[in-house]
């Protein structure tokens, strides 16, 4: 069954530092991968999605993710963290021709001044 695993339930970085949030997927077929962000007491907002057109995907708010098939990974990065990036981030996988979407457990990002 398709699934995603997010490594690290909490990540803390200093403002201006690199953000790296890890996601590994398990899929026997080409995966359709997504990253979402959730601010407190709000719903999930799409950051970016992998569509197989390019392995490096750029999203909103300066985030990007690289699809690496050999490592079954889709890690999320941002070169320079901002205080407003503090939130919870979810990686998700969707199976082709199936409405099922599986979410990781989430990674809470804290940004220190």
Partner 1 sequence: DGGITQSPKYLFRKEGQNVTLSCEQNLNHDAMYWYRQDPGQGLRLIYYSQIVNDFQKGDIAEGYSVSREKKESFPLTVTSAQKNPTAFYLCASSTSQGDPHQPQHFGDGTRLSIL
- Closest separation in Å from C-beta 79 to partner 1: 24
104 lines the binding site for partner 1 (CB under 8 A):
yes
- Closest separation in Å from C-beta 104 to partner 1: 6
Q: Which of 18, 105, 110, 112 is close enough to bind partner 1 by CB under 8 A?
A: 105
Smallest CA-to-CA distance from 107 within 66, 65, 75, 59 is with: 75
Instruction: For residue 105, give the 3-state DSSP assignment.
Output: coil
Contacts of 41 (CB under 8 A, 6+ apart): none
- CA 21 – CA 8 distance, rounded (Å): 8
Q: Note the residues at the interface with partner 1 (CB under 8 A).
A: 9, 32, 34, 36, 41-46, 49, 51, 90, 94-101, 103-106
């Amino acid at each position: 069954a398709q699934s995603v695993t997010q490594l690290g339930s909490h990540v803390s970085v200093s403002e201006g530092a690199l953000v790296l949030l890890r996601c590994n997927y398990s899929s026997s077929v080409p995966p359709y991968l997504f990253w979402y962000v959730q601010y407190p007491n709000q719903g999930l907002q799409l950051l970016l999605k992998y569509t197989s057109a390019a392995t490096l995907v750029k999203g909103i708010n300066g985030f990007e993710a690289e699809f690496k098939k050999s490592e079954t990974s889709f890690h999320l990065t941002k070169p320079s963290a901002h205080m407003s990036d503090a939130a919870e981030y979810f990686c998700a996988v969707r199976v082709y021709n199936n409405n099922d979407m599986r979410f990781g457990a989430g990674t809470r990002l804290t940004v220190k001044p």
